[in-house]
Amino acid sequence: METLLQQIINGLSLGSVYALIAVGYSLVYSILLFSNFAHGGFLVIGGYVCYFFLGGYFLSNFFEGGVGTNIWVAAAAALVGAGLSAVIVEKLAYKPIRERTPVTLYMLIASMGMNIVIENIFVVTIGGRYRALPSVIPMKPVSVLGVATTSQFDLLALATAVVFLVGLQIFLSRTKWGLAIRAASYNLRTAGLMGVNVNRLISLVFFVAGMLAAIGGIFLSARYTLYPQLGAITTKAFVAAVIGGLGSLPGAVAGSLILGLAEMLATGFVSSQFRDLIVFVLLIVTLIVRPAGLFGKSVGEKV
Amino acid sequence: MQNAASAGAEAPILSVRNLSVNYGAIRALKGASLDVYRGEIVAVIGANGAGKSTMMNAIMGDIARAGGEILLGGAPLPARSYQVVGAGVSLAPEGRRVFAPLTVRENLEIGAFPLSDRSEIEEQMQRVFNLFPRLEERRSQYAGTLSGGEQQMLAIGRALMAKPKVLLLDEPSLGLAPIIISEIFKELALINRTLGMTILIVEQNARKALLLSNRAYVLQTGNITMEGASGDLLNNPEIEEAYLGGRKK
Ligand SMILES: Nc1ncnc2c1ncn2[C@@H]1O[C@H](COP(=O)(O)OP(=O)(O)O)[C@@H](O)[C@H]1O
Ligand SMILES: [Mg+2]
């Protein structure tokens, strides 16, 4: 019973971090109809910007303490940095393609290339070694109702994800640009005919996706350490987005929570070696039983 | 120095000059020209594949032009869709293309994207609701659940939301029952009369379009082949034969 409750809390916490990342995949997919595999790169950029601002680089390379900003400034910088990087990647790599051809497969391939480029920029400039984020996120254990224990870290991750996902929902449902994004996710060209500057809209979507990835990047690098290939973790968030139905934001959140819970329950009741197995079992079962995903609309070719 | 009013003959509000558009090797428009004057309803009739939608989409900046120019109020119309709408030209596209997962109200709101004054948007929405009371009844309903006729009304209302100087309509009769078509064309006449809205309509349904409009052009495989007062074209035997289902020998 205690294990169950504890693993549920851990699962929700893990799932909520996946959700931040999965929503970015789905948001971009809903507008441009391709899976942006450079998304993991945005996450890594967020992690490194945060690390730099916290003074981690200087601490480990030059000084002993006394440099770096607090976590709020560092996190804000990471969000803006990753958001802007996402916008730049779109302008450099995807815009030239989408202006020439309606075939979205080329953007998918370009995104894989951009992911490698981003990874290697970090490998070449600051090196591939694992780096620990200065301990700015509290990790103390917390007792839940006296029956289970979790950590401050897990609760903080869950709360942060909820704040940002609710914020995103409010932005999409209450603002003019949010409405434009919803319209564009149904039909981008028709949204253009309504007077929406579609290039600006696409930049906005990438900025938001990059920001959300950066939050994931901060929490994941605090949990596991930071290295250029950390973005590979987004594979699981991508799977979550597919299970929920690519292009659907509620689907991305639901898929992420299911995945997080499944991983943690498998860890708690079977063995942690089953963690990754269960992810792909869920993916395969979804693709067989309901190829469009839980909230997916149509079964087109999804790349 | 003279302005348009003192110049005698008024300049057209929308002028399409030698417009050509290619899809790869296909030349869909081969230098088509037409003028629309303030307050007029102008129709472009033509068979399926004549290039009517191509002309509309090229005016809207939704597809690239290969040549020619488009003037709005004497000034070149910008090339990008959002700038065209901002400049005062809105389109109710072929096939309606309403945003199915958005409500009727949200569809109208997105139509008003270039406007920023909240009260101006509400005012315009009320105007659209007065024209199409059915839309007001269904304002919280998803657009995807509307009937074809209601969706067409929504597409027209949505285009009106941006307060255009010229309203473009691409085959508003497409796929609708005759009684619904009559209702919509009656409404278009009213929009022209009461709002003073200038309308450029392209239609395969030549009879309806000629009855509605003041002047008309005939578009044939990318070329304008005939033009004149709509009443004259209605009585033209050639037109009757080709477009009005005149008796074949
Ligand atoms: N996206 C496209 N790609 C290639 N050819 C097209 C495309 N759209 C239209 N065409 C061709 O251009 C011509 C004009 O089409 P269109 O403007 O849609 O005609 P209309 O609206 O008068 O029926 C047709 O021959 C059509 O096949
Ligand atoms: Mg057409």
Over residues B98-149, the pLDDT tens digits come to 999 999 999 999 999 999 999 999 999 999 999 999 999 999 999 999 999 9
- Asked if pLDDT for residue B7 goes beyond 70, the answer is no
Q: How far is the C-alpha of B129 from the C-alpha of B196, rounded, in Å?
A: 17
Amino acid at A102: P
pLDDT in tens, B154-206: 999 999 999 999 999 999 999 999 999 999 999 999 999 999 999 999 999 99
Residues of B37-62 as b/e, b for ≥16 C-beta within 10 angstroms? beebbbbbbbeeebbbbbbbbbbbbb
Ligand nearest to the CA of B62: 1
pLDDT at B249: 37
Please give the pLDDT value at position B3. 39
Contact A186 B99 (CB under 8 A): yes
pLDDT band at B9 (very low <50, low <70, confident <90, very high): low
Q: What digits encode the pLDDT tens for the residues A31-65?
A: 999 999 999 999 999 999 999 888 766 555 555 55
Indicate the pLDDT class of residue B248, thresholds 50, 70 and 90.
Answer: very low
Give the model's pLDDT for residue A270: 86
Q: In degrees, to the nearest 5, what angle opens at C-alpha A285 toward C-alphas A281 and A286?
A: 115
Task: For CA atoms B238, B243, B244, B249, give the dihedral sign.
Answer: positive
Q: What percent of chain B has pLDDT over 70?
A: 95
Q: What is the pLDDT of residue B206?
A: 94
Distances (CA, A) of A238 to A186, B61, B64: 21, 35, 36
**What CATH number corresponds to the domain at position A43?**
1.10.3470
In a domain, A218, yes or no: yes
Sheet hosting strand B75-76, strand order edge to edge: B26-36, B14-23, B67-72, B75-76
CA A179 to chain B, closest CA, distance in angstroms equals 7
Q: Which residues line ligand 1 (CB under 6 A)?
A: B 23, 26, 28, 46, 48-54
Closest CA to A152 of A138, A163, A162: A138
Residue B66 contacts residue B44 (beta carbons within 8 Å):
no
Q: Which residue has the tokens 């914020």?
A: A167
With contacts defined as CB-CB under 8 Å, which chain A residues touch B101?
182, 186
pLDDT tens for A243-258 read: 999 989 999 999 999 9
Question: Are the C-beta atoms of residues A188 and A44 closer than 8 Å to each other?
Answer: no
Task: Please give the pLDDT value at position B2.
Answer: 36
* Nearest-angstrom CA–CA distance, A196 and A204: 12
ipTM field: 0.91
In a domain, A296, yes or no: no
Distance CA B171, CA B46 (A): 11
For residue A131, what is the DSSP state?
A: B
Tell me what pLDDT residue B243 has.
80
H helical segments located in A62-137: 71-89, 95-98, 105-125
CB-CB contact of A216 with A88 (8 Å) = no
Cα dihedral B207, B211, B214, B216, rounded to 10, equals 0
Answer yes or no: are the C-beta atoms of A78 and A212 closer than 8 Å.
no
Task: State how many domains chain A has.
Answer: 1
Nearest Cβ partner for A196 among B82, B90, B93: B82
* Cα–Cα dist B180/B130, whole Å: 18
Residues of chain A with pLDDT under 50: 299-303
Neighbours of ion ligand 2 (CB under 5 A): B 52-53, 94
Distance from the alpha carbon of residue A143 to the mean position of ligand 2, in angstroms: 66
* For the CA of B222, the nearest atom of ligand 1: 14
Q: Which domain holds residue A86?
A: 2-129+142-289
Which residue of A183, A192, A198 is in closest CB contact with B99?
Answer: A183
CB contact under 8 A, B113 and A193: no
Structure tokens at A75: 């996190």
Q: How near does any CA of chain B get to the CA of A79, in Å?
A: 28
What value does the mean pLDDT take over residues B23-32?
95
Q: Which residues of chain A does B80 touch, with a Cβ-Cβ cutoff of 8 Å? A: 197
Domains of chain B: 4-95+164-242 (3.40.50.300)
Percent above pLDDT 90 for chain B: 90
At A71 the pLDDT is: 87
**Which of A39, A78, A95 has the alpha carbon at shortest distance from A236?**
A39
Asked if A198 has any chain B CB less than 8 Å from its own CB, the reply is yes
Q: Which residue of A has its CA nearest to B111?
A: A194
3-state secondary structure string across B51-107: CHHHHHHHHCCCCCCCEEEEEECCEECCCCHHHHHHHCEEEECCCCCCCCCCEHHHH
Would you call A176 and B113 a contact, using CB atoms and an 8 Å cutoff?
Answer: yes
| B63 Cα: distance to centroid of ligand 1 (angstroms) | 11
CB neighbour list of residue B199: distance below 8 Å, 6 or more residues apart: B40, B41, B42, B166, B167, B168, B169, B188, B191, B192, B213
Residue nearest to atom 11 of ligand 1 (CA): B28
| Amino acid at the residue A256 | S
Backbone angles phi, psi at B198, to 5 degrees: -80, 130
Domain-embedded: residue A300: no
CB contact under 8 A, B110 and A196: yes
Residues in chain A with CB shorter than 8 Å from the CB of B97 are 187, 190, 193
Per-position b or e across B194-222, b if 16+ CB within 10 A of its CB: eeebbbbbbbbbbebbbebbbbbbbbeeb
pLDDT at B69: 96
